[in-house]
Structure 1
Amino acid sequence: GSELEDKIQFAWMNQEDDAEETALPSAWYEVLSVLHMMAMLRLSQANSLLLPKTSLEGYHTKVSEENKRASVEVFLKAAGHLECAMHQVLPRMSPEKRKGLPVDLSEGVLKATCMQALGQGN
């Protein structure tokens, strides 16, 4: 590990836990949080591409083939961020720091979200 690994507190607001905020002195926690945020933004982007647009006449149109193709690419990017988090970042964190992670950053939730992104991307 680096000299700075445990010197700086990284704090993030929680979406899924009872605690409002999680703060850990771990640069890997920061990397994990950023990867998770990037994946969630990608999932939101992909889902928005799949929403039918409302025409000027007020009826819903079909989702274009171009948007469907673009959403697949974005879902796969989200899955890539989550795979990186699970396989490159989590293993670098100690078991006690992993226990302190918010629920949405736990390995099981990251894996489930990754599988969902892969499923939606196919």
Structure 2
Amino acid sequence: MPALPSRAIEHIPGHAVQHIGEHTGMETYATVDFVGRDTNPNAVPPIVEVDENSWIEANFWHFEEVSETRDQVVLFDDSRDVTMVINYPTDEILIYAPNGELALIYDITGVSYSLTPVIPDGWVV
């Protein structure tokens, strides 16, 4: 499928983007909004897919994509030796410490998809 001009991409409704990506093999980029649960209730930044294999959380933590399926994305932050699992069916983000123990759970409050990365204002990628 030929690449769409950037102006055309801007006019595709958000609800159609995920469908387009699933059925044409086009890369889609996710923005996952979440809130903290129990141990970190004030955490509310999004995690944003900024290219095919990279995600950034809160304009600070960088993750490389290890695997991605329709149901979950597994990410790894080499600087902290931390694994993040975005589990779409359960609306949870699980953070695993370097020793493999579950350290934090976040609740997903929304997921949006786009055909180009959506970087929040003020973020440096």
TM-score, normalization by structure 1: 0.22
Between structure 1 and structure 2, the one with the greater Rg is: 1
Structure with greater strand percent: 2
Structure with greater helix percent: 1
TM-score, normalization by structure 2: 0.21
